[in-house]
Copies of this chain bind each other. A is one copy, B any other.
């Protein structure tokens, strides 16, 4: 499948090689290709900057946000919270309309340090903001509750016996994403978590996740829902 990924950070760097390995035709989109490829060193999380990463992953196609949106039959938003709406604007509504947008972003606000707060929440969510801004895009919120490594490899923790949530307004799009998570990444415990307003819940969960990450000094932490 042709997949466009918006973003060049940790999430995109986890998704892209895995999807290529699975046989998909992937294009990573960024704001400024030249500038992104020129970034070297490690970021604040100790992760390689995009330029260095791409030297080790030169088989991954890179283009603009619009290139990625045009390319993808399926588009994935792997941008930061603050970067998401600007990236989608650059991608272009006309290039996104009618498509499924898997939204993995979280509205994290690090302006007061760690742990971050959320810049939208409680009675709204970033997933909903994106859906409102792009009413003809089928926004499906998922994967935002786990570390980038775990998104594509749930079996890395607890034998894969943990939970992922999927929310969105379009039932068919949601079903397609659920199938994708199961068949491509091996997710087993996938909860169809209602319409996009439920992104409020999974984004708010970041308050808990980020503190577990901080206190355990371990990003490989997640939850299994018991009922």
Question: Which residues of A pack against B, CB within 8 Å?
Answer: 112, 117-118, 121-123, 157-158, 161-163, 193-194, 198, 200-202, 204-205, 207-208, 211-212, 215-216, 218, 220-227
- Which residue of B118, B162, B194, B202 is within 8 Å of A122 (Cβ)? B118
Least Cβ–Cβ distance between A171 and chain B, in angstroms: 14
CB atoms of B215 and A226 under 8 A apart: no
- Which B residues touch A122, using CB under 8 A? 117-118, 121-122, 207
Least Cβ–Cβ distance between A98 and chain B, in angstroms: 28
Measured in the bound complex, the distance between the Cα atoms of B200 and A112 in whole Å is 15
- Which B residues touch A158, using CB under 8 A? 226
Measured in the bound complex, the distance between the Cα atoms of B224 and A198 in whole Å is 20
Least Cβ–Cβ distance between A8 and chain B, in angstroms: 28
CB atoms of A221 and B215 under 8 A apart: no
CB atoms of A212 and B224 under 8 A apart: no
Measured in the bound complex, the distance between the Cα atoms of B162 and A226 in whole Å is 8
- Among residues of B, the one whose C-beta sits closest to the C-beta of A215 is B194
Measured in the bound complex, the distance between the Cα atoms of B208 and A194 in whole Å is 12
Measured in the bound complex, the distance between the Cα atoms of B205 and A202 in whole Å is 9
CB atoms of B221 and A223 under 8 A apart: no
CB atoms of A201 and B208 under 8 A apart: yes
A-B contact pairs, 24 of them (CB 8 A): A112-B123, A117-B122, A157-B227, A158-B226, A163-B223, A193-B211, A194-B215, A198-B211, A200-B207, A201-B208, A202-B208, A204-B204, A204-B205, A204-B207, A204-B208, A205-B205, A216-B227, A218-B227, A220-B227, A221-B227, A222-B227, A223-B224, A223-B225, A224-B224
